[in-house]
Amino acid sequence: MNVIMLIAVIRAFVGSKPGHPFIVLKRVLLLSSVAYLGRAISVPITMLPSPDMRCVPRLVDGSMFWSVMLMPFGLSHTCADVFYSGHSIPITLSMMFWIDYAPSRREKVCGSLLSVVALLVILCTHFHYTLDVLYGVGLTVIIWRLYHFGLTVPAVVLNSKIYMFWEADAFMEDTDDADTSESSTTPLSMPAQLAGDSRHDLLLIDIEKGHKPVCLQLVSPAEPVGSPFEPVSMMSFCRLLAAGGACVAALMLNCAVDVWAQYRADRYWPRDHLTGSLVQPSTPLPDLGFELLPYISSDYQGVRIPDVCMTLCVLGAAIMIFVKFGFDQGTIVLKRTLLLGAIGYTGRALSVPMTQLPNPDGSCKAVLDWNYPLLSILLVPFGLAHTCADVFYSGHSISVTLATMVWWDYSSSMASRLFGLVWGLLTLTIIIATHFHYTIDVVYGVVITFAAWRLYHYAMKVPAVMLNSRFMMFWEYDAFPVVPLNARHKTVYIPNLNMHVQLCEDSAPVLVTQSTTEESSLPSAEDKAIPAGDVAALGVINLNFSEDPRILWGLRVAEKPDGGYRSLP
């Protein structure tokens, strides 16, 4: 690990412009600190036994302080810090450095292969479980990709105080360098002059991409002049069916993986196939949540309490969105939730068979028919069959977290938001207290689902991200309000955003202000219509999904006067 990091650092300084290696090293150190912080939170929650039975801890007797201080130098070490792999973090960061910053393809391939070999050595030596390495690599790659993707979107950088502060030296690198053509093609920085260039105003957009433009501009509040928006129920319904199909497919994949995991687990923890009970009861892993919460039986007269709590939590959120928004807008919210659920359950299906944990509830009985495994898979979603080996990570926490986020983002009052939050937290607490899942299972289910939800909903507020993603534009096309053909020359007011919309025939942009709707060229930053301080803020639209779940920074222009719409090009 140390050798791989040293090679990457040396390569960063060799053949680079003065100052560039420090920019790269600064980013690597920042992302490594974030990853190690996540590991520090994960390790003590649920402790796994060391995969290497020969591991002997080496600590300073009677001094925790010196044991901690000597650990980075290899003079002391433990055998209980298993989940997740700390060695995989610097190795993965080195791999991502070679992929993103190495100039030649040969260096990219060689550096990546070197990192992959190091990860395989960790697994072959039983230094970590496969699950430890998988999550160490996966989370580090996600953190790296998100940070570097943010650097490529000016709207994200200019609206983030952390980005603007942390990457200030990267901006100065471009402005001070006489040769801007080379620096603009490297991933080291982005043009700082974009902040003052009104031609890059990301709010003046045409979502038709080739059709006649629809021009938007934030203005002061004014009286509404009518809204020609019309719902497109069939479009929303078709996407809802697709999202439901994806979620069902992910759930069935989980069921198949759960049955397979139970088959593999029976070789390590044998069960009586008649009763489903363990032949020799296993000892649950040390768990912080189990120590803090009182134990509650998960079974009440044949009914599993966590299943009931999860179902009620999900149904409550679904009823809320349809009562509040109606069918058309409610399907938009449900479609997004099902898509994110499909992503979460697919990730779970990949995690469960990697490293299997003993079931935290010793009384759990697997109910399966091994003579008909396919039938068992089909019965799992209905509770007529279940397994005891699908522990990491919690599938119940995915659904509960999605329901909680629906309450938080789509309900209007703070009272209803707190109600949904308390309901979700209570359900998650019951899952841990009943020993239905380890605390680490619930924590990772919540964190991954929460991150996916937040990223998706943030992307919808950044036109630059939406318009450059074919999938997002296709999937959220029904969320853009539709304007009939006979309203092309009208000005539309959107009260939730204090925004006027001017529909224009020409290719030249049209600026709509409170006092005029006449066509004009795009003003400079000195023009009073656009205050100079607002230019940077125009790239991120503060949509209020609790009032309207649609994407109100863009419009779909109807093809026919009766409200028919164009399909995506």
Confidence label for 383 from pLDDT (cuts 50, 70 and 90)? confident
Q: Do 397 and 424 form a contact (C-beta atoms < 8 A)?
A: no
Predicted local confidence at residue 557, as pLDDT: 56
Q: Are 334 and 318 in contact (CB under 8 A)?
A: yes
Phi, psi of 271 (to 5 degrees): -125, 150
The residue that leads in pLDDT, 505 or 550, is: 550
60's tokens: 């300073």
Which has the closest alpha carbon to 482: 208, 202, 221?
208
CB atoms within 10 A of CB 412: 11
- Convert the pLDDT of each residue in 329-343 to its tens digit: 899 999 999 999 999
pLDDT value at 220 more than 50 = no
Domain ranges of the chain: 2-172, 198-222+481-563, 234-459
CA distances from 18 to 6, 27, 108, 175 (A): 19, 16, 22, 14
* Host H or E run for residue 491: strand 491-494
> Across the strands, what pairs with 287?
46
How far is C-alpha 380 from the geometric centre of its chain's CA atoms?
27
Least confident segment among 6-15, 289-298, 540-549: 6-15
Highest mean pLDDT among 5-19, 69-83, 351-365 belongs to 351-365
Kindly report which listed range (200-204, 276-280, 385-389) carries the lowest average pLDDT score: 200-204
State which of 228-237, 401-410, 528-537 shows the largest mean pLDDT: 401-410
Q: Is the pLDDT of residue 428 over 80?
A: yes
Average pLDDT of span 336-351: 94
Tell me the C-alpha to C-alpha distance, in Å, between residue 474 and each of 235, 236, 240, 243, 456: 11, 11, 13, 13, 14
**pLDDT (0 to 100) of residue 16:** 58
Distance CA 519, CA 213 (A): 13
User: What confidence category does residue 207 fall into, taking pLDDT thresholds of 50, 70 and 90?
Assistant: very low
Least confident of 37-46, 58-67, 345-354, 433-442: 58-67
**Residue 556, pLDDT above cutoff 70:** no
pLDDT at 563: 40
pLDDT reported for residue 172: 55
The Cα 182–Cα 175 span in angstroms is 12
> Mean pLDDT lowest for which of 133-142, 158-167, 320-329?
158-167
> Each residue of 89-119: pLDDT tens digit?
999 999 999 998 888 889 899 989 999 999 9
Sequence-separated (6 or more) residues with CB below 8 Å from residue 369:
375, 376, 385
Amino acid of residue 334: L
- In this structure, the strands spanning 299-300 and 303-304 are antiparallel
pLDDT in tens, 239-257: 889 999 999 999 999 999 9
* pLDDT, average across residues 284-307: 88
- Average pLDDT of 183-201? 32
Checking if the pLDDT of 69 tops 60, the result is: yes
Helix (H) / strand (E) element for 409: namely: helix 395-410
Beta bridge partners of 46: 287
pLDDT at 102: 86
C-alpha to C-alpha distance for 251 and 380, rounded to whole angstroms: 10
At position 169, the amino acid (one-letter code) is D
pLDDT band at 20 (very low <50, low <70, confident <90, very high): confident
**Is the pLDDT score of 140 beyond 80?**
yes
The pLDDT confidence band at residue 530, using thresholds 50, 70 and 90, is: very low
Residue 217: the pLDDT is: 37
pLDDT of residue 357: 87
The residue with greater pLDDT, 290 or 541, is 290
Q: Are 133 and 85 in contact (CB under 8 A)?
A: yes
Written as six digits, the tokens of 219 are: 């203005």
Decide which of 20 and 523 is more confident: 20
Of 10-24, 38-52, 70-84, 494-508, highest mean pLDDT: 38-52
Using omega within 30 degrees of 0 as the cis cutoff, is the peptide bond preceding 345 cis? no
CA 198 to CA 434: how far, in whole Å?
A: 58
CB 399 within 8 A of CB 427: no
Q: Is the pLDDT of residue 532 over 60?
A: no
> How many Cα atoms within 13 Å fall on the side-chain side of residue 394?
30
Instruction: Give yes or no for residue 181 having a pLDDT over 60.
Output: no
Q: Is the pLDDT of residue 502 over 80?
A: no
How many angstroms separate the first and last alpha carbons of the chain?
48
Residue scoring higher pLDDT (219 or 448):
448
495 vs 526 pLDDT, higher one: 495
Q: Output the DSSP codes for 428-444.
A: HHHHHHTTSS-HHHHHH
pLDDT for residue 229: 44
Measured between alpha carbons, how far is residue 122 from residues 53, 87, 91, 383 in Å?
15, 8, 11, 39
Residue 411, pLDDT above cutoff 60: yes
Backbone phi and psi for residue 374, each to the nearest 5 degrees, phi listed first:
-65, -40
Please tell me the distance from the alpha carbon of residue 146 to that of residue 28, in angstroms, as a whole number.
Answer: 13
Task: Judge whether 271 and 366 are in contact, CB under 8 Å.
Answer: yes
Q: pLDDT tens digits for 302-318? A: 788 999 999 999 999 99
CA distance linking residue 296 with residue 175, whole number of Å: 63
Q: What percent of the chain has pLDDT over 70?
A: 72
For residues 320 and 303, the model is more confident at 320
Each residue's pLDDT tens digit, 387-396: 888 888 899 9
| 311, burial (CB in 10 Å: exposed 0-12, middle 13-18, buried 19+) | middle
